[in-house]
Amino acid sequence: MFDAEKEKVKIVKYIRDYFKANHLDGVVIGISGGKDSGVVAGLFTEALGKENVLGVSMPCHSRQSDYLDALSVASFYGFEIVTIDLASTFDNFTDKISQLGEFSVEQLHNSNINFKPRLRMATLYYLAALYSSIKHKTYIVAGTSNKCESFVGYFTKWGDGVSDINVLGDLTVEEVVKIGEVLHLPKEVLYKVPDDGLSGQSDEEKLGVSYQDITKYMNGEYLAKDIQEKISTLHKNSLHKFGIPTYKK
Amino acid sequence: MFDAEKEKVKIVKYIRDYFKANHLDGVVIGISGGKDSGVVAGLFTEALGKENVLGVSMPCHSRQSDYLDALSVASFYGFEIVTIDLASTFDNFTDKISQLGEFSVEQLHNSNINFKPRLRMATLYYLAALYSSIKHKTYIVAGTSNKCESFVGYFTKWGDGVSDINVLGDLTVEEVVKIGEVLHLPKEVLYKVPDDGLSGQSDEEKLGVSYQDITKYMNGEYLAKDIQEKISTLHKNSLHKFGIPTYKK
Domain boundaries, chain A: 4-242
Q: Mark yes or no for CB contact A249/B7 under 8 Å.
A: yes
Q: Mean per-residue pLDDT for A46-68?
A: 96
Decide if B223 touches A, using CB distance below 8 A: no
The C-alpha of A142 sits at a distance from chain B's nearest C-alpha, in angstroms, of 10
Tell if the CB–CB gap between A130 and B97 is shorter than 8 Å.
yes
pLDDT over 70 at B198, yes or no: no
What does the pLDDT look like over A180-238, one tens digit per residue? Answer: 999 999 999 999 988 777 667 888 888 899 999 999 999 999 999 999 999 999 999 99
Mode of pairing for the β-strands spanning A139-143 and A165-166? parallel
Q: Which of B110, B37, B27, B91 is nearest to B67 (CA)?
A: B37
Q: Which comes out higher in pLDDT, residue B196 or B112?
A: B112
What pLDDT does B224 receive? 96
Count other Cβ atoms within 10 Å, centred on residue B227: 16
Chain A / chain B CB contacts < 8 angstroms: 169
Section B48-52 average pLDDT:
98
User: What rounded mean pLDDT belongs to chain B?
Assistant: 96
Closest chain A CA to residue B236: A22
Q: What is the mean pLDDT of residues B29-35?
A: 97
**Contact status of A241 with chain B (Cβ, < 8 Å):** no
Determine the straight-line distance between the first and last CA of chain A, rounded to whole angstroms.
48
Using CA coordinates, name the residue in chain A closest to B107: A133
Which of chain B's residues have a Cβ under 8 Å away from the Cβ of A239? none
Task: Report CA-CA distances (Å) from B171 to A85, B11, B14, B149, B177.
Answer: 41, 11, 14, 10, 10
- Does A119 reach chain B within 8 Å, measured CB to CB? yes
What is the structure's pLDDT at A198?
Answer: 66
Beta strands B139-143 and B165-166: pairing type? parallel
- pLDDT score, position B177: 98
Instruction: Tell me, yes or no, if A219 comes closer than 8 A to chain B by beta carbon.
Output: no
Euclidean distance between CA atoms A176 and A173, whole angstroms: 5
Nearest Cα of chain B lies from the Cα of A143 at a distance, in angstroms, of: 9
pLDDT at B157 over 70: yes
CATH class of B4-194: alpha beta
Q: pLDDT tens across B235-244, in order? A: 999 999 999 9
Q: Which residues of B touch A247 (CB under 8 A)?
A: 10-11, 14-15, 166-170
ipTM of the complex: 0.96
Q: What confidence tens digit (pLDDT) does each residue in A136-178 have? A: 999 999 999 999 999 999 999 999 999 999 999 999 999 999 9
Give me the residues of B, 150-179, that contact A with CB < 8 A.
Answer: 157-159, 162-171
A76 in contact with B at a CB cutoff of 8 Å? no
Q: B130 vs A103: CB contact, 8 Å cut-off? A: yes
What is the CATH architecture of A4-242?
3-Layer(aba) Sandwich (3.40)
pTM above 0.90, yes or no: yes
A115, with CB counted inside 10 A (0-12, 13-18, 19+), is: buried
For residue B133, the chain A residues in CB contact (below 8 A) are: 106-111
Residues of B in contact with A129 (CB under 8 A): 110-111, 114
**Interchain proximity B170–A249, CB inside 8 Å:** yes
Q: Is-contact B159 B60, C-beta < 8 A?
A: no
Distance CA A224, CA A230 (A): 10
Hey, which residues does B53 pair with through a beta bridge? B27
